[in-house]
């Protein structure tokens, strides 16, 4: 999957491929700098349920595997419904937020 903005782009995949309620998962990512953009220093991934006004019960951990490659582990969507996964990419002092909406059925 891919997400992009005017400042940055990521290619990513869930691990495991299928997200299930109450099961830990991770995301492997490659951050792509757009022409003239700064390198991505850090990526922070989180998830919220906009309709419920809350997020996950766990704090995920981001690991830089190599330049522009990241693994985030410890994510868990603990209930059915609409979730918004946020990817905050930090390039120097600038933050770019990309989002992916997920709906988990009971």
pLDDT single digits (tens) 67-96 = 899 999 999 999 999 999 999 999 888 899
- Stretches where the chain sits below pLDDT 50 are none
Q: On the CB side of 11, how many CA atoms lie within 13 Å of its CA?
A: 6
Whole-number pLDDT of residue 37: 73
Q: What is the largest CA-CA distance in the chain?
A: 44
The answer for residues whose C-beta is within 8 angstroms of residue 16's C-beta and 6 or more apart is 25
Q: On the CB side of 72, how many CA atoms lie within 13 Å of its CA?
A: 24
Examine residue 98 and say whether the peptide bond preceding it is cis (omega within 30 degrees of 0): no
CATH class as words, domain 2-104:
mainly beta
Beta bridge partners of 90: 42, 95
Q: Which pair of tokens denotes residue 44?
A: 């922070």
């Amino acid at each position: 999957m891919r997400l992009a903005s005017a400042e940055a782009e990521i290619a990513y995949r869930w691990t495991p491929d299928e997200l299930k309620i109450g099961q830990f998962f991770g995301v492997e990512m490659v951050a792509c700098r757009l022409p003239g953009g700064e390198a991505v220093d850090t990526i922070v991934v989180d998830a919220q349920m906009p309709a419920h006004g809350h997020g996950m019960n766990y704090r995920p951990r981001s690991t830089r595997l190599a330049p522009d490659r990241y693994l985030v582990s410890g994510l868990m969507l603990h209930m059915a419904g609409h979730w918004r996964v946020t990817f905050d990419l930090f390039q120097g002092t600038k933050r770019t937020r990309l989002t992916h909406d997920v709906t988990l059925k009971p």
